[in-house]
Structure 1
């Protein structure tokens, strides 16, 4: 028992040192455009990369970026592999039991269904990314939930007939809609879920949380966060 406590203390201490010297390792998925993705140069790109870099510059932090699979993104934050999560992660009561969040940098967003036609059976087999609030919603909706590790996998499931529809963040689904040159159409009704999207952190990293909250607050106050939201998500996106 003593060894276990010592090991836990050592891990917490190591995690606390992860951003010593004002260097912060930013964790993201890299597979959820336009929030985050890998560009043609092999670099993390997207709304959260631009926002994260801006926040770090405002708060005099040196930031580096790393990617991690979605299904283990929280465990690897807690293990000290990086210091933040900026990966389109909605703030929920369930997640707050394990990690902490900054204030939202994206307002409570709409999720939507996408299928091969507008009459897609949203109470049939619905694909969603594992560990998301959308997957939780589908599981409680009366539909049969089919979970996949990435957004691309959920789209492929609809394309090959494995699922009747996909349910995800509407902004993430837009590129796959016919309106944006994709193969699918909107089905059912939009649903507003979560408390908005924030930066995920370890509960012990209160100083880092304060710095990031300060930056987000300033960007809300001067309107620059809204400018960034419209740049990446369009003029119809929710703003602050």
Structure 2
């Protein structure tokens, strides 16, 4: 559930897509359980399974492309791939430059994790991945924000004592809290309007095909089953 500030909307004017061609799905590959690179070097996770099933239902040939988070929208707009499926929250800011499918999760919680339960979340130092809705929230909360390019670096900063706490999607933090000395602190925070696929504003036909596929997965219960499998909150 990430929030990227984009000033390159004009790139969309130069990007086009032939519907008969293979649809390229852009993802980060670094945000489990949504998306990650497995031991075989392939994109894996909830969104890999979801994307493959959506392409099947939409009767579209698809391939996966990985891209660093901080340039994931600009590279969509410039035509490096045709859709983003990367744990991206639907926000008003993003809607200014891309069009979203309907959400394939409901808004799910963000959370803080720290080494101590008595950490000061309002006056302390909190890490978050750069250009996310969590980083925007921390910046507006009164805490000192320290941003990192990758989610793993935000956690490492807490473990090393560089920051007091980390804020991220609770789904991402849950296995880390279960397996390390970190613990959840403070209250869960609900940000954004759920997660959806992002498309260039000129690609309404493609967006419509995926929208229909998402709706069919909601209707037959397979989307909720996939969310359960990957232990992701936000069921319909």
TM-score interval, normalised by the smaller of the two chains: over 0.9
Alignment match, 1:158: 158
Q: Are the aligned partners of 2:19 and 2:206 in contact in 1 as well (CA < 8 Å)?
A: no
Alignment match, 2:203: 205
Q: Are the aligned partners of 2:109 and 2:169 in contact in 1 as well (CA < 8 Å)?
A: yes
Q: Are the aligned partners of 2:147 and 2:154 in contact in 1 as well (CA < 8 Å)?
A: yes
What displacement does 1:204 show? 0.5
Taking the aligned partners of 1:183 and 1:38, their CA distance within structure 2 comes to: 25
Taking the aligned partners of 1:233 and 1:66, their CA distance within structure 2 comes to: 24
Which structure features the higher share of helix residues?
A: 1
What displacement does 1:218 show? 0.5
SS at match of 2:126: strand
Matched, 1:141 2:141: yes
Q: Are the aligned partners of 1:127 and 1:147 in contact in 2 as well (CA < 8 Å)?
A: yes
TM-score normalised by length of structure 1: 0.91
- Equivalent residue pairs, number: 226
Aligned Cα RMSD in Å? 1.4
1:27-176 → structure 2 map (5 Å cutoff): 27-123=26-122, 124-176=124-176
What displacement does 1:20 show? 3.3
What displacement does 1:183 show? 2.2
SS at match of 2:16: helix
Higher relative contact order (CA 8 A, sep 6+): 2
For 1:178-227, what per-residue CA distance to the aligned partner results, in whole angstroms no more than 9, with x for missing partners? xx222200011100110000001100000010000000000001111000
Q: Are the aligned partners of 1:113 and 1:165 in contact in 2 as well (CA < 8 Å)?
A: yes
Q: Are the aligned partners of 1:31 and 1:151 in contact in 2 as well (CA < 8 Å)?
A: yes
What displacement does 1:121 show? 2.0
Taking the aligned partners of 1:101 and 1:182, their CA distance within structure 2 comes to: 36
For 1:26-75, what per-residue CA distance to the aligned partner results, in whole angstroms no more than 9, with x for missing partners? 00000000000000000000000000000000011111001110011011
Taking the aligned partners of 1:221 and 1:31, their CA distance within structure 2 comes to: 30
For 1:84-131, what per-residue CA distance to the aligned partner results, in whole angstroms no more than 9, with x for missing partners? 111100000011111110000011010000000222221210000011
Q: Which consecutive unaligned segments of at least 5 residues does structure 1 have?
A: 1-7
TM-score normalised by length of structure 2: 0.92
What displacement does 1:146 show? 0.5
Matched, 1:190 2:188: yes
What displacement does 1:12 show? 4.0
- Computing the radius of gyration from Cα coordinates, the structure with the larger value is 1
Q: Are the aligned partners of 1:26 and 1:65 in contact in 2 as well (CA < 8 Å)?
A: yes
Q: Which consecutive unaligned segments of at least 5 residues does structure 2 have?
A: 1-9
Taking the aligned partners of 1:118 and 1:201, their CA distance within structure 2 comes to: 41
